[in-house]
Amino acid sequence: MAVEALRCKECGERYPLDARYVCERCFGPLEVEYDLSAIDASALRARIESGPASIWRYADLLPFATPPASPLPVGLTPLVRADRLAERLGLGEVWVKNDAANPTHSFKDRVVAVAIAKARELGYSVVACASTGNLAQAVAAHAAAAGLDAYVFIPADLEREKVLATGVYGAKIVAVEGTYDDVNRLCTELSAEREWAFVNVNVRPYYAEGSKTLGYEIAEQLGFELPDRVVCPIASGSMFTKIARAFDELVELGLVARPERGGPIFCGAQAAGCAPVAEAFANGWDVCRPVKPNTIAKSLAIGNPADGPYALELARRSGGTIEAVSDREIVEGIELLAETTGIFPETAGGVTVAVLRKLAEQGKIAPDERVVVLNTGEGLKTLDAIADAVEVIRIEPRLEAFDRAFGLAGAAAS
């Protein structure tokens, strides 16, 4: 196992592998540091390929000295070749990484599985989070599977379905009167006062590592090759940067080669109603100006993105971009993916597909590129988004009524 220490991404200061997330010297974020030099690549590949059908097949590259027991399997979700989507957009090769196929139907199962495994290793008996839905459900489910108590802090106006889909696992739900950013600030303060593992606060460095498994899986599922381009949603910016880190590690290990044309190119996707990272990208800023979110893509509505500066650096360094799309384009993106692949994404997936479409229409994607687009959540989580887009034709239970509605009278006989 290669895990070494926590290291500040800003100033390089090192810390032991305990529950901390911020550098005491400069307030920079901490990241898990590994020493990959002693890993034999071919032996690692064999371990991966013979490993469990879950994220734990990549345990060598996750922050544990020994692979943890994890009672609810996560990951190894399908990478689906989307030829009809590619054809519709005039592209050559498009794949959809469908992370809706996780236990609580979003990519959050990855980060939470890692965070809760770490919380148990560190001796915590209570886990908590600030969330607007996907994270809440994942924390509640994985805590239930592990036998830990869970406190989930949500904005008080959260939709009923999301509250119920969290509460069913037995988590204590705390409705906070405020926005997500208020809830997050409260949890940051609480994390200093309670001996709890807040998955996206004091164990965040480990939590964030879970997103690397998306990158490992994409590479493995492409036959240990990297795509030319990744289109990925951005909320805090953490997943976006961790997929790149996963690819970098695989290259460093010699398990994959860089694509011949260079890259992969990283393109980030945001909703126009909450686009602090896209705005900073467009203006050439290296930090984000926080915004007050107003979009249907609520799972991406972080107005104050913690990893914004690193997401900006990655998009620029890789030759990519960060684009924003309107709520209308998001709904069209949901429909486009559903109609061409049979995969029904939540609004975040609609954002990502809409940005893919925008880039394709702008001619920014070469016809021979291999593109991977991420769907990070299940469409049933955000049904309201498409309520006005679905047409139902109502008829009486008679053949003539059907023929009248569809204008097919006599068609069957001809």
Give the interface with another protein as residue ranges (CB under 8 A). Answer: 10, 21-22, 24-30, 111, 130-135, 178, 180-182, 184-185, 187-189, 191-192, 198, 200-201, 204, 207-208, 235-236, 238-239, 287, 289-290, 292, 299, 301-302, 304-306, 309
Pick the closer one to another protein by CB: 10 or 361.
10
Q: How far apart are CA 261 and CA 110, in angstroms?
A: 30
Task: Tell me how far, at minimum, the Cβ of 401 lies from another protein, in Å.
Answer: 47
Task: Tell me how far, at minimum, the Cβ of 201 lies from another protein, in Å.
Answer: 5
Task: Tell me how far, at minimum, the Cβ of 267 lies from another protein, in Å.
Answer: 20
The single-letter DSSP state of residue 29 is B
Closest-CA residue to 184 (of 206, 153, 207, 215): 153
Q: How far apart are CA 414 and CA 409, in angstroms?
A: 10
Task: Tell me how far, at minimum, the Cβ of 289 lies from another protein, in Å.
Answer: 6
Pick the closer one to another protein by CB: 255 or 385.
385
25-32 CB contacts, 8 Å cutoff, 24+ apart: 29/204, 29/205, 29/306, 29/307, 30/6, 30/205, 31/6, 31/7, 31/205, 31/208, 32/3, 32/4, 32/5, 32/6, 32/7, 32/63, 32/205, 32/206, 32/209
Task: Tell me how far, at minimum, the Cβ of 27 lies from another protein, in Å.
Answer: 5
Pick the closer one to another protein by CB: 115 or 253.
115
Q: How far apart are CA 236 and CA 106, in angstroms?
A: 16
> Which H or E run contains 15?
strand 14-15
Task: Tell me how far, at minimum, the Cβ of 236 lies from another protein, in Å.
Answer: 4
Pick the closer one to another protein by CB: 183 or 278.
183
Pick the closer one to another protein by CB: 207 or 216.
207
Bridge-based pairing state of the strands 30-34 and 3-8: antiparallel
Pick the closer one to another protein by CB: 177 or 260.
177
Closest-CA residue to 45 (of 250, 315, 258): 250
Quick one: CA dihedral 95, 101, 105, 108, positive or negative?
A: negative
Pick the closer one to another protein by CB: 30 or 91.
30
Task: Tell me how far, at minimum, the Cβ of 155 lies from another protein, in Å.
Answer: 10
The backbone torsions φ and ψ at residue 152, rounded to the nearest 5 degrees and listed phi first, read: -120, 120
Task: Tell me how far, at minimum, the Cβ of 178 lies from another protein, in Å.
Answer: 8
Residue 191 Cα to chain centre, angstroms: 24
Residue that has been written with the tokens 């687009």 in this structure: 373
Pick the closer one to another protein by CB: 22 or 122.
22
Walk across the sheet containing 126-130 and list its strands.
172-176, 149-155, 126-130, 197-198
Q: How far apart are CA 240 and CA 16, in angstroms?
A: 25
Write out the two tokens for 375.
């769907």
Write out the two tokens for 370.
């291999």
Pick the closer one to another protein by CB: 250 or 322.
322
Q: How far apart are CA 103 and CA 240, in angstroms?
A: 21
Closest-CA residue to 245 (of 28, 33, 27): 33
Task: Tell me how far, at minimum, the Cβ of 357 lies from another protein, in Å.
Answer: 25
Task: Tell me how far, at minimum, the Cβ of 16 lies from another protein, in Å.
Answer: 15
Pick the closer one to another protein by CB: 130 or 351.
130
